[in-house]
Amino acid sequence: MTKLSLVLILILSQSSFAQNLLPDLPMPPEETEEAPATPTTEPENAEKKIENQIKVNKNQLIKEFYIHFKKAEYIASLDSLKQLEKSSTDEAFSIYWQGIVNNKLERYKDSIEAFKKADKMKVNYKDMYYEYAQALYAADLLKPSRKAFGKSIVNKHKVPTSLYYMGFISQTLEDYKSATNYYKKINSLEDSQEKKDVNQAARMQLAEIYVIQAVKSKDPRKQIKKYAIPEFEYAYGLDVNSSLAPEIKKRILDLQDKYDLVLLKMANGRPTTIPRLYLKLSQEFRYDTNVVLEANQVQSPAQDKGAPISKTEVLSRYAFYPSRRISLIPEFRGNYTKHIDSDTPSIYQNDNYSLTPALRSSYEYTIGQKMSSTLLDFDYNYSARDVYQRKELNYNGRTLTYMLGEKLNFLSLGETTVRYRLKDFSSYNETYDSKTNSFSFEQMLILPKGHVMFIVGSYDMTKVKNESLNTDSYLLRLDYITPRIKDWVTPTLSFTTLFNDPYNQKVTRGLEKMYNPGVKLTRGFGHWRGNLKYDYTRNISKDKTAYDYTKHVYGFELEYLF
């Protein structure tokens, strides 16, 4: 640099940008030190002073830029950079950062110019091509952008994301072969958080390419089933909890529906069960202040003894849809109940387990354009209990239940179901064998603001081999579900009232009445669900010693749904 140009720069620096310098900024010690006192001639001294002055000004401008940039004062930081560009012998810093700042300001044309210049100057900051490529992409210069992302990969900067961009650009340019290669390359990279963040989207895009190719083929349905759906499922499986996962799942359902790969709705519009398999495990701990017979027993004298109880249950079912009108749902329920107090025979006699396979079916149709279903269920129940109070579980009884029902939609507020049920119970003690005919009515009421009410009414006639135990019963149950409180817990209130007529013992027992209010608080945590429960039961009977009782049940139940 000539002396004249140095002097000119000095004059410029002092007149224009020096006014904008921050006077109170601390100067780094090495910059404020005076030049070493070596014997030089006068013109040489002047030149060194000028050079030092330029260096000081350059550093102050860098500081100024830095402070503005850190405060996100991008317009001001750009001014500092432009002054720096004019004054500095090292333009690379200024040009590169002008590109970056213009990207932040979304002035992509300016940033492209800056990066182009930096590229010509062979500036090669690690992330420059990534930023350059983004600016080119924003300006719709897709092929140059793809090339720049390629250079970013050479610089080993944001490799998975750059590959994704290259894939996406190729996909946009309908260069599916290249797009497929770029997307697939991401999977072969070393594991990193960035790869994890990008790979799922890449595999989803890959699946989308398969869809495009399948649509062009002779048999789109087959191609989508064979290639696209498995790829979507692979993408989904990479991270089922990601924010993209629901979108992928939605896409799978959409394609399955569109290409008739899976039944999503029955002929009458009723949604099918997805996924088809339902599996639930639950563990409940409760304290019952007055344990009465819990297993399949007709006889149940009041105990007036409390005990903690553990109950473990498994419930699973799988839905089959042989046609758009018929559903077949095999189900299995098993549970085991253990009374923790093991010293009182009248309590531990209630320890039991039961196994209940069932087959539920429905026929779907419409009445007056509204969804209706005819229901036919069959249940078999086997139960074992400590019937002999010997701390061992023996055969207690088995029950066969047949149910015929009808689900209707004549009320706009919710579905109505009527059922007839026949239950045949065989006890370990045949005098307790019984048959029950039951008629029930269920009404769902969906109320405004997320409130729901469920009403069940039932009339049951039980004929026992020992006829003195015959009963007629009338039950009414209300369940009221309120919206979640502060998005945290859902309360359910219930109230059951039962009138039981042991007509062959009416003299001693009279018409028995039972009232059973309860409350349940439910909170879900992903697959987990916790229930806090309380129930109060008051049974009023003329027979004060055996059938008249009161009890409280406090419980906590933890469920896991697969």
Partner 1 sequence: MKILTLLVLLSSVTVFAKDEKNVAKVTMLRGAALVKNASGSERSLKQDEWVSEGDIVATKDKSFVKLTFTDKSTMNVGPASSITINKFGGGEAGLISVIQGQIRSQVTKDVLKQAQDKSKLIIKTKTAAMGIRGTDFLVNYSPETEKTNLVTFEGNVALAQIEGNELALINTTQLDSIISDPARGVEVTGGLYAGTSPGQEHATIPTKISPVQFETLKVNENLETKESTQSSNPTYNSIVVPGLSAQVTSNDNSQTLDNQVKNTVGSVEITKEINLPPPEGYVDPNTGAQAPTAGGFIDMKTGHYIAPPEGSKFDANAGVYIPPSTYGKVDESGNYAPPEGLKLNTEGNLVADPAAGSSSSSNKSGTTTGSPLAPSPIKPIMGATTPGAPGGPKMEGPGLAGGPKPPVNDVLGGGFFIPGNYFIDNRDTSVIPNLNQLPTTTNTKFIISAP
Site for partner 1 in 396-435 (CB under 8 A): 399, 401, 403, 419, 421, 423
Report if residue 175 touches partner 1, rule: CB under 8 A.
no
Closest CA to 409 of 271, 268, 273, 274: 268
Closest CA to 403 of 423, 376, 383: 376
Among positive and negative, which fits the CA dihedral 127, 128, 129, 134? positive
- Segment interacting with partner 1, rule: CB under 8 A, options 12-20, 38-46, 204-212, 218-226: 204-212
Q: Looking at 3, 222, 265, 390, which residue binds partner 1 (CB under 8 A)?
A: 265
Tokens read off for 57: 């000004």
Nearest approach, Cβ of 16 to partner 1 (angstroms)? 18
- Segment interacting with partner 1, rule: CB under 8 A, options 4-12, 41-49, 221-229, 256-264: 256-264
Q: Looking at 344, 458, 497, 504, which residue binds partner 1 (CB under 8 A)?
A: 458
Q: Please provide the size of the chain in residues.
A: 562
Own/partner long-range contacts of 215-221 (Cβ < 8 Å, ≥24 apart): 220/259, 221/259, 221/260, 221/261
User: Distances from the Cα of 249 to the Cαs of 196, 197, 204, 272, 426, in angstroms?
Assistant: 18, 17, 10, 16, 47
Question: Residue with structure tokens 């189900």?
Answer: 331
Tokens read off for 549: 């009782």
Site for partner 1 in 211-230 (CB under 8 A): none
Query: For the window 344-373, what string marks contact with partner 1 as x by the rule CB under 8 A?
Result: ----------x-x-x---------------
Site for partner 1 in 91-120 (CB under 8 A): 93, 97, 100, 104-106, 108-109
Q: Which is nearer to partner 1, 348 or 547 (CB)?
A: 547
Contact 223, 255 (CB under 8 A): no
Q: From the centroid of its chain, how far is CA 23?
A: 56
Site for partner 1 in 517-546 (CB under 8 A): 522, 524, 529, 537, 539
* Measured distance CA(499)–CA(517) in Å, rounded: 15
- How would you class 87 by CB atoms within 10 Å of its CB: exposed for 0-12, middle for 13-18, buried for 19 or more? buried
* Measured distance CA(373)–CA(366) in Å, rounded: 8
Report if residue 24 touches partner 1, rule: CB under 8 A.
no
Q: Which is nearer to partner 1, 46 or 400 (CB)?
A: 400
Tokens read off for 418: 């009527």
Q: Looking at 381, 409, 416, 505, which residue binds partner 1 (CB under 8 A)?
A: 381
Nearest approach, Cβ of 487 to partner 1 (angstroms)? 7
Nearest approach, Cβ of 1 to partner 1 (angstroms)? 19
Report if residue 17 touches partner 1, rule: CB under 8 A.
no
Q: Which is nearer to partner 1, 46 or 453 (CB)?
A: 453
Q: Which is nearer to partner 1, 305 or 477 (CB)?
A: 477
Ranges assigned E (strand) in 409-449: 416-427, 434-446
Report if residue 286 touches partner 1, rule: CB under 8 A.
no
Q: Looking at 155, 181, 299, 361, which residue binds partner 1 (CB under 8 A)?
A: 299
Report if residue 467 touches partner 1, rule: CB under 8 A.
no
User: Checking phi first, is residue 369 left (phi over 0); if not, alpha (psi -120 to 50) or beta?
Assistant: left
Question: Residue with structure tokens 């946009």?
Answer: 172
Report if residue 155 touches partner 1, rule: CB under 8 A.
no
Contact 33, 55 (CB under 8 A): no
End-to-end CA distance of the chain: 75
Q: Residues binding partner 1: what is the number (CB under 8 A)?
A: 136
Report if residue 80 touches partner 1, rule: CB under 8 A.
no
Report if residue 50 touches partner 1, rule: CB under 8 A.
no
Q: Which is nearer to partner 1, 229 or 475 (CB)?
A: 475
Q: Which is nearer to partner 1, 319 or 347 (CB)?
A: 319
H/E segment holding residue 202: helix 193-216
Q: Which is nearer to partner 1, 50 or 62 (CB)?
A: 62
